[in-house]
């Protein structure tokens, strides 16, 4: 009779000591998907101006959320760039607009604060704060007077977590960490 090898016997003993591997439903849940998802993006053309509506859903990775819980403010930036298509040269940039939101946790008061421009608003939960920092309506991109009715235009939209505005000591080790690279980009044609 052959005896099992030492490696095989150790493996079988190790598996016998871990009954949670064999119990149904005992495995840890799959990690939740993290990132930024564009739920709504709409470009509206009126007689006076070109406006943009967007709604983004943000699911933060654990490392980003932990840093925020410790009071590190994070910044989200939305960019919209309007281009005129040209066949003979690079496309011409007609207008560029940018918005930035600062989301920070106040540990002493347990309040989430969202800053936009010179205005600040307080929220009880991180989810509420992220919702406030991830949508905009009737955002003016350009005046209609800048547009030539004979030309074709398109808009490049992006929404991202801006790591360049993090405190300097945190920026040092973020180069290789994928959980801090969050963003979404879309292109819309102006009809």
> 3-state SS of 58-111?
EECCHHHHHHHHCCCCEEEEEEEEEEECCCCCCCEEEEEEEEEEEEEEECCCCE
Is there a contact between 52 and 139 (Cβ–Cβ < 8 Å)?
Answer: yes
Q: Are strands 74-84 and 49-59 parallel, antiparallel or unpaired?
A: unpaired
Q: What pLDDT is attached to residue 167?
A: 78
Q: Residue 183: is its pLDDT beyond 70?
A: yes
pLDDT of residue 184: 92
Q: Which residue has the higher pLDDT, 170 or 5?
A: 170
Sheet containing 35-45: order of strands: 35-45, 49-59, 135-143
The more confident residue out of 31 and 99 is 99
Q: pTM (2 decimals)? A: 0.76
- Return the higher-pLDDT residue of 181 and 105: 105
Q: What is the pLDDT of residues 21-80, one digit of tens each?
A: 333 333 333 334 568 899 999 999 888 899 999 999 999 999 889 989 988 999 999 999
Q: Is the pLDDT of residue 97 over 90?
A: yes
For position 25, what pLDDT does the model report? 38
Average pLDDT (117-128) is 93
């Amino acid at each position: 009779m052959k005896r099992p090898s030492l490696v095989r016997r150790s493996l079988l003993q190790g598996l016998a000591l871990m009954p949670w591997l064999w119990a149904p439903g005992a495995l840890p849940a799959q990690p939740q998907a993290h990132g930024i998802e564009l739920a709504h993006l709409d470009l509206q053309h009126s007689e006076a101006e070109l406006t943009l509506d967007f709604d983004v859903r943000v699911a933060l990775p654990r490392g980003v959320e932990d840093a925020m819980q410790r009071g590190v403010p994070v910044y989200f930036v939305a960019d919209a760039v309007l281009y005129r298509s040209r066949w003979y040269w690079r496309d011409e940039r007609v207008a560029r607009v940018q918005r930035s939101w600062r989301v920070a946790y106040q540990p002493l008061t347990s309040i989430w604060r969202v800053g936009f421009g010179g205005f600040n608003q307080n929220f009880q939960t991180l989810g509420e704060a992220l919702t406030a920092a991830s949508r905009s309506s009737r955002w003016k991109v350009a005046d209609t007077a800048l547009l030539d009715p004979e030309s074709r235009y398109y808009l490049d939209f992006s929404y991202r977590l801006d790591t360049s505005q993090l405190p300097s000591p945190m920026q040092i080790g973020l180069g290789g960490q994928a959980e801090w690279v969050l963003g979404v980009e879309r292109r819309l044609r102006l009809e």
